[in-house]
Amino acid sequence: MKITEIVSYSLLTATGLQSVVFLTITITWRRERSENNEHKTSELCTDCKDLLPHYDYNGIASKVEKLRKSQDSRCCGGTGEIIRLAAQKETTDMFFNRIRYMVTEAVYQMCDSYVEQTPYVRAVEITRYIAVGAVYQLLWNKNGRTVTQPSIHHITHLQDEGEIFIRRAGLYKVTSQLVIDTNGTISDRIFSHFIYVLSHKYGTRRILGERKSSLLDRQNTISILSAVFNLDLHDRLSVAITNPVHIDTRNNDNVFSVHFVDSK
């Protein structure tokens, strides 16, 4: 065999071996790169209170409860979900704090620039309850964080009856949020939460909405009813429950609100 042939053969062999080595390195690199690029969801934990708004307008509390770790006060979940809930809390609190301190109707009139405000009542904190038939009607604090706008002449909170009095027929968003006492003695298996209307037009008292919650589930700490209803002039709205022993009446997260949406 000539020297040139030997050299050519050696070069071909070396080139082949080099190609095999490069191919092996490439396959190994692609495999490791694929493994490193696999989506890994990071988890974030925080105090559940940091995610719960003072007024739950969009059912945020139920989402937070799903993230709660057993009886712990901490909530854990995906980083994106925790950040989103925290942002919703801040936005909601900012909105309702702004409503609370809105300039009153009288000031607008004094400035000769009257702006019509949407009739709205937000009653906060349960003061006591009264028996009405087989249920207990809740009465609400008239002071503190309770808000009525623009005035009682547009929509009225009747604190002695625990009712909100409608002075303009139309569509209203009615919301009731109650805090269930999970530390108390369970005397019932089911807790029932109602919104009633006493109709001036028809002379009847009927249920507008009802929500039942299992008291065996200790993680179920919030009961929320919220919907839009077609109400008549002089209708009276109230919140009732089956057994007051299951409500944390000292909690300021107990809320009853009625917000005007549109005329009939």
What pLDDT was estimated at residue 106?
A: 40
Beta carbons within 8 Å of 124's beta carbon, 6+ residues apart: 140, 141, 144, 145, 146, 252, 254, 255
Q: How far apart are CA 226 and CA 234, in angstroms?
A: 21
Contact 66, 81 (CB under 8 A): no
**Helical packing angle, 79-100 and 60-67, nearest 10°:** 150
Tokens of 155: 């929509």
pLDDT at 194 > cutoff 90 = yes
CA 252 → CA 44, 54, 126, 157, 224, distances in Å?
28, 8, 8, 17, 15
pLDDT of residue 5: 53
CA 71 vs CA 65, 119, 180, 217, 221: distances in Å: 11, 40, 14, 11, 11
Contact between 223 and 213 (Cβ < 8 Å) = yes
pLDDT digits (tens, 9 = 90+) for 88-109: 887 777 766 655 544 444 443 4
**C-alpha dist (Å) from residue 72 to 65, 66, 69, 193, 254:** 11, 12, 5, 26, 22
Measured CA to CA, the distance from residue 198 to residue 206 in angstroms comes to: 7
Q: Is 193 in contact with 213 (CB distance < 8 Å)?
A: yes
At residue 61, the pLDDT reads: 82
pLDDT per residue over 169-189, tens digit each? 999 999 999 998 877 666 778
Closest CA to 238 of 133, 154, 98, 151: 133
Fold of domain 117-263? Jelly Rolls (2.60.120)
Residue 253 has pLDDT above 60, yes or no: yes
**Could you state, in order of their start, the residue ranges of all structural domains in the chain?**
43-98, 117-263
Please report which confidence band the pLDDT of residue 59 belongs to, taking 50, 70 and 90 as the band edges. Answer: confident
Per-residue pLDDT at 255? 95
Distances (CA, A) of 116 to 147, 154, 162, 241, 264: 17, 11, 27, 35, 18
